[in-house]
Structure 1
Amino acid sequence: MVRSINNPGRSIEISGFCSPAFAAVKDAFYKNFTARGEVGASVSVTVRGETVVDLWGGNTDAAQKEPWQKDTICCVQSVSKEITALAFHMAVDRGLIDVDELVTTYWPEFGQAGKEKTKVRWLLDHRCGIPIVAGATPGMAYDWTRMTEGLAATAPLWEPGTTPCYHSANYGFIIGEVLQRVTNRSVGEFLRKEIAEPLGIDCVIGLRDEEDARVATFLDKEDHISQAWIDEGTNIFAKSWKIFWDDEDFNSREWRRAEIPSVNAHTNARALARICGVLACGGAIDGVRLLSAAAVERAAEVQWTGKDVQDRLLSLSLGFLMPTENFPSTGPRTIGMMGAGGATAFADPDLHLGFGYSMNAMDPAQSGRQRPQALVAALNSCLGR
């Protein structure tokens, strides 16, 4: 596992742009480095499609010698689910998928072992009951066919549609297979061609060799609470994570090259803020339309709120986290996702605001949220909230 060094005396340089009206965000970003253990990170905010904050700083490596650059990208963990859900809703908007149809309409092999009547919407809102894949073995996650065939054969832990359970590792494979069946493109291919290229952003699932040089080393996994869950061994999260190599630190070649749409998108805050800007502005930004306004409204329909079977307080729409006390945001109708260690992205349709934060050192705090919480608190102060 790669750990960052303890270097409290290092010099921190923040680069980029920040509108004077949002100076408090820059101050909070700087303090994340000096007081909250940040190693390398970026933060960005768009309002009505205009970038008002675009900052980056710190280092991309454990030794804290290589500077974070404007085009540095890093793994954003579960924020990947938000990106994948956006792609899925684009297919829904095109009439390729109906969220109230049975999954077997698009993926016939899924209809076995008690999943025959599973609806598409239950895939999106984490109620399909297969957070653990049957026959999980280390390394399975890096093979799309093994994962999707395994998930198709898996019996649900509960009757589909009845029990909320955050599908940490499997979510992207489940909705990604449906997306692939109707578009004839993998999630990574769809993301590159249908989202990243039109928006002019760095955002990939499945890195290419030539992109490695711009990727920040992911750090401090063993200090994060998720490692303790994995080490405990018998909980749902630990069992769901058995599809990865035991020593996976989110830097391996297999991790970077594979398409694992639940957790291995590589991007930066600038890209996340633009993606969220699309959701915040009725489906379009800078003249680029990805979704209809009606599709955005549908995606934001809350499906359940409360504690799931893993005792996580969550509010889920059709693929996105909605506001709770655990999800820092700027308003009651924000839609987004947060990733293990701190990465955060959300859209606020009332303010037409997109927010993105990415980092390479997992926050060791129990909640793992102190750095994004500080940034969002500063953003709220700028907005008079």
Structure 2
Amino acid sequence: MESKKSTSRDGESHTNPPANSKLFPISALIFFISILIYRYSSFGPFAPFQCQLIGIGCLSTKVQGYIAPEFINVKKAFITNFENGDEVGSSVAVYYNGKLVVDLQGGYADLETMRGFDNNTLQPVFSCTKVLAAIVIACLVDRGILDYNEKISTYWPEFAQGNKENVTLLDLVNHRAGVSYLDKVVKSDIEDLDKLAKILAAQPHSFGGVPNRAYHPVTYGWYLNEVVRRVDPKHRTIGKIVSEEILTQYDLEFYLLLPTNLISRVAKFYETPTVKAFFESFGVFSSWWAGKVPGSFFTEFNNKESVAYKTFNCLYPLSSAVTDYSKLEIVTIEWPSANGITNAKSIAKLGAIIVNNGQPLHDDSSSSSSSASSKSLLSKSIVDLISTKLPATFDHVLYTNITPSFGGFVYIRFPGIEDVEFVGWGGYGGSLFIWNRELGISFGYANNGLRTPIFGEISDRRTWSILKEVVNVVKKLKREQA
């Protein structure tokens, strides 16, 4: 483009620059900003801000532990989570046919002190705790102490209030008891189990006695705990039974009442930064736009009289700050819904025992006790029973269809491996406790970087990518063995 000449008032001739030359700095600025936005959006939420923008100050990728040679791609996927800024600290473990094939830890348990996340780290896993609580119930059913088809009021007469007289144990373990929230509860109530029992019994049924599924995120463990206290010959809690009969017997660490001397091993929690969380929240709207979310979802969650609103309104009874849930004053209160403290190996090992039809893992060389792994956790008949798939049903709190199992677990399919169905459940922020008996896989994931999954999904891309590699390897091994 040619320059144009103009004449000023003094009569001198001047050359005007091409019109598009004025646009060049603006175009360059837009281009530069676009690159920064792309980099920021492509990184996970836990990479330092300067790392996301210009690649400076990124955290080193610290990964340690054991990996069987065939599963090396699992380690690569695990490392990628840290390189992408998707994780702060985490552990992942996999058992295949009763053998430990993956046991990795990486990142940081505490960014302030730069304490590494290692095989000594313990991690609260929120609702993965419900899986352990349901396993304890299965153990008591196996012994004939409990019956899934029996009414709760048989074990706990005071429970038969507010249209709850016909609620069965099966209803309760599968979130159909109509008690997904409490009208009022404070920390002192939770610490006094006798006082809490009266509050639990007085709570009316949310659906007038009709057994509709409505996820019990907080109350699940409290109600089951009281049932157990009533029927156990020693009147123990679920946590006490776990500590006395499961942890030592199977060489596990999964505390429902953390010994105070172990608090130094607990990892700190880190929430997704506000800006990232804002962008990720659009996942709900995109799901709604795609027709995956019912049109009444937003109405129900803003209706103060709805079961969903009331349930989520009492979601954090011990503290409104979710990062507090790794602190001493909270982890030392037994709460079998969401207060379990463990590691990925213990999760995966417990799942592996279920995959092994409730029998101990005799070839587990990691057992530290000569008496460990000598006793069955569950009979095969009970494992078959609790694994029985129930019809899919709409959950009035999660606002999506759920396929439960008889024992209180859930059948789950994950993106990228939809042809494989796992059993178990996940915890807020990304933890996962699942297994698949047909493939012989048990999978555990425990992490301290908290992310809220997109509507209707269990866990997130961190575990999905790792689990996909696990399934690929197992399928390959089975083809070779065929």
Instruction: Using structure 1 for the length normalisation, give the TM-score.
Output: 0.91
Deviation at residue 222 of structure 1 after TM alignment: 7.5
| 8 Å CA contact retained: 1:127, 1:160 | no
Deviation at residue 149 of structure 1 after TM alignment: 2.0
Deviation at residue 286 of structure 1 after TM alignment: 1.9
Q: Which residue of 1 aligns with 2:411?
A: 322
Q: Which residue of 2 aligns with 1:134?
A: 183
- The alpha-carbon distance between structure 1 residues 142 and 362, as it changes in their structure 2 partners (threshold 3 A), is farther
CA distance in 2, matches of 1:239, 1:153: 19
Further displaced range: 69-78 or 142-151:
142-151
Is 1:354 the counterpart of 2:447 in the alignment? no
Q: Which residue of 2 aligns with 1:336?
A: 424
Deviations 1:347-379 (A, max 9, x none): 211122211011011125535511111111111
Q: Which residue of 1 aligns with 2:5?
A: none
CA distance in 2, matches of 1:244, 1:131: 16
Counting matched residue pairs gives 381
Q: Which residue of 1 aligns with 2:390?
A: 303
Return 5+ residue gaps in structure 2 as ranges.
1-44, 52-57, 285-297, 363-372, 477-482
Deviation at residue 26 of structure 1 after TM alignment: 0.5
- The alpha-carbon distance between structure 1 residues 206 and 4, as it changes in their structure 2 partners (threshold 3 A), is farther
**Helix, strand or coil: the match of 2:443?**
strand
Deviations 1:251-304 (A, max 9, x none): 333311101111010000000010000111100122431000011111112234
Return 5+ residue gaps in structure 1 as ranges.
none
Q: Which residue of 2 aligns with 1:44?
A: 93
The structure 2 residue matched to 1:6, chosen from 29, 48, 51, is 48
**Helix, strand or coil: the match of 2:199?**
helix
The residue type equivalent to 1:6 in the other structure is: P
Q: Which residue of 1 aligns with 2:379?
A: 292
Deviations 1:111-133 (A, max 9, x none): 11111111110001100101011
The residue type equivalent to 1:54 in the other structure is: D
The structure 1 residue matched to 2:334, chosen from 259, 272, 295, is 259
Deviation at residue 62 of structure 1 after TM alignment: 3.4
The residue type equivalent to 2:320 in the other structure is: D
Deviation at residue 80 of structure 1 after TM alignment: 0.2
Is 1:22 the counterpart of 2:66 in the alignment? no
Is 1:271 the counterpart of 2:359 in the alignment? no
| 8 Å CA contact retained: 2:167, 2:211 | no
CA distance in 2, matches of 1:121, 1:266: 26
Q: Which residue of 2 aligns with 1:166?
A: 215
Where do 4+ consecutive residues of structure 1 move more than 6 Å? 224-229, 326-330
The residue type equivalent to 1:331 in the other structure is: V
Higher alpha-carbon Rg: 2
- The alpha-carbon distance between structure 1 residues 64 and 345, as it changes in their structure 2 partners (threshold 3 A), is farther
Deviation at residue 160 of structure 1 after TM alignment: 3.9
Q: Which residue of 1 aligns with 2:11?
A: none
- Larger relative contact order (Cα-Cα within 8 Å, sequence gap ≥ 6): 1
- The alpha-carbon distance between structure 1 residues 339 and 145, as it changes in their structure 2 partners (threshold 3 A), is same
The structure 1 residue matched to 2:193, chosen from 132, 137, 144, is 144
Is 1:193 the counterpart of 2:244 in the alignment? yes
**Helix, strand or coil: the match of 2:93?**
strand
- The alpha-carbon distance between structure 1 residues 330 and 236, as it changes in their structure 2 partners (threshold 3 A), is farther
CA distance in 2, matches of 1:180, 1:167: 19
**Helix, strand or coil: the match of 2:103?**
strand
CA distance in 2, matches of 1:212, 1:73: 9
The residue type equivalent to 1:243 in the other structure is: P
The structure 2 residue matched to 1:208, chosen from 259, 264, 267, is 259
**Helix, strand or coil: the match of 1:358?**
strand
The residue type equivalent to 2:259 in the other structure is: R
**Helix, strand or coil: the match of 2:215?**
coil
Deviation at residue 135 of structure 1 after TM alignment: 2.5
| 8 Å CA contact retained: 1:283, 1:296 | yes
Instruction: Using structure 2 for the length normalisation, give the TM-score.
Output: 0.73
CA distance in 2, matches of 1:221, 1:210: 29
Further displaced range: 94-103 or 188-197:
188-197
The residue type equivalent to 2:359 in the other structure is: A
**Helix, strand or coil: the match of 2:263?**
helix
Deviations 1:304-357 (A, max 9, x none): 42431131332212211112458978833x321101111001121112221101
The structure 2 residue matched to 1:363, chosen from 451, 458, 478, is 451
Q: Which residue of 2 aligns with 1:84?
A: 133
CA distance in 1, matches of 2:425, 2:136: 14
**Helix, strand or coil: the match of 2:411?**
coil
| 8 Å CA contact retained: 1:36, 1:371 | no
How many percent of aligned residue pairs carry the same amino acid? Answer: 26
The residue type equivalent to 1:370 in the other structure is: R
**Helix, strand or coil: the match of 1:383?**
helix
CA distance in 2, matches of 1:370, 1:55: 18
